[in-house]
């Protein structure tokens, strides 16, 4: 199977999983909310595992100067902090916090969600394509990590769009359209990948920084909002399972 086919199958799968997450809420919201409590720690583990087991080692292997790789990793962290500040869209709020946010009118809030989500999905497409161009196992690991953090994010976005006045079918349609920007990001990498020297290698540490930021700044605070002691062990298990899954994928290489 060609790398191009792998890439577009991966970004299509990411978009489909985002849609599945929303449809699950659409029909079985009560059960999915319970699953969401486990999906968040699982996503944290997968994102950190992919960053530290796959993306960062590959980056330091491909980039001759370690300081350059470290700089690009730092830029990945800072850029997403800057993006969230500019768009006033903080994914570390819980779904209920998002719906009760009074800092923007509902219509304006809906526009911010769609703009933010489209850009995030575009970056996901860039990251997935760049990872597959390095190697298929790295691409697979990155796709899994993206899927796991996309599901809870898309569920939250869907809830905000409903609050902003969108009909459920309209919110579903716009959310799916924003997910398709991942295809645009992947196509851009395929166009540029053979042009600038080191472009693909440069994306890897940047992507690692993005994943670390999402896991630690956006998702970990979600777990701290839950004070129930009985949730500690499931959360530790979920994070550990995500990290272990990324470690197992190393054997594909």
* Stated pTM of the model: 0.68
Per the structure, the count of domains in the chain is 1
DSSP string for the chain: --HHHHHHHHHHHHHHHHHHHHHHHHHHHHHHHHHHHHHHHHHHHHHHHHIIIIIHHHHHHH-S-HHHHHHHHHHHHHHHHHHHHHHT--TTS-HHHHHT--SS-HHHHHHHHHHHHHHHHHHHHHHHHHHHHH-HHHHHHHHHHHHHHHHHHHHHHHHHHHHTT--HHHHHHHHHHHHTHHHHHHHHHHHHTTSSTTHHHHHHHHHHHHHHHIIIIIIHHHHHT---GGGHHHHHHHHHHHHHHHHHGGGG-
Domain span at residue 241? 3-23+31-252
d(CA 15, CA 147): 9
CA angle 96, 50, 177 (to 5 degrees): 50
Q: How many residues are recorded in the chain?
A: 253
Tell me the C-alpha to C-alpha distance, in Å, between residue 156 and each of 25, 49, 99, 114. 10, 24, 9, 12
pLDDT tens over the chain, length 253 residues:
688 899 999 999 888 876 775 666 666 666 666 666 777 788 888 889 888 998 899 889 888 899 999 999 999 899 888 877 776 544 444 444 444 444 455 556 567 667 767 877 888 898 899 888 888 888 988 898 888 877 766 766 676 677 667 787 788 888 888 888 999 999 988 887 655 656 767 888 888 888 898 888 877 887 887 767 777 888 899 899 889 888 887 876 5
């Amino acid at each position: 199977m060609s790398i191009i086919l792998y890439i577009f199958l991966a970004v299509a799968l990411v978009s489909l999983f985002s849609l599945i997450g929303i449809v699950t809420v659409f029909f079985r919201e009560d059960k999915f909310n319970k699953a969401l409590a486990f999906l968040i720690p699982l996503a944290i583990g997968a994102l950190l595992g992919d960053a530290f087991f796959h993306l960062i080692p590959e980056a330091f292997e491909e980039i001759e100067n370690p300081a350059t790789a470290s700089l690009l990793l730092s830029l990945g962290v800072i850029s997403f902090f800057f993006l969230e500040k500019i768009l006033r869209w903080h994914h570390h709020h819980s779904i209920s916090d998002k719906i009760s946010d009074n800092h923007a009118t509902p219509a304006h809030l809906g526009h911010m969600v769609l703009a933010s989500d489209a850009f995030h999905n575009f970056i996901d497409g860039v990251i997935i394509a760049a990872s597959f161009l390095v190697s298929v196992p790295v691409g697979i690991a990155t796709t899994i990590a993206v899927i796991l953090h996309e599901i809870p994010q898309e569920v939250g976005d869907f809830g905000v769009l409903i609050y902003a006045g969108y009909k459920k079918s309209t919110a579903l349609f716009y959310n799916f359209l924003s997910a398709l920007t991942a295809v645009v990001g992947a196509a851009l990498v395929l166009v540029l990948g053979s042009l600038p020297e080191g472009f693909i290698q440069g994306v890897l540490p940047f992507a690692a920084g993005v994943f670390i930021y999402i896991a630690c700044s956006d998702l970990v605070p979600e777990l701290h909002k839950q004070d129930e002691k009985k949730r500690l062990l499931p959360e530790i298990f979920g994070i550990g399972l995500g990290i272990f899954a990324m470690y197992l994928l190393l054997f594909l290489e």
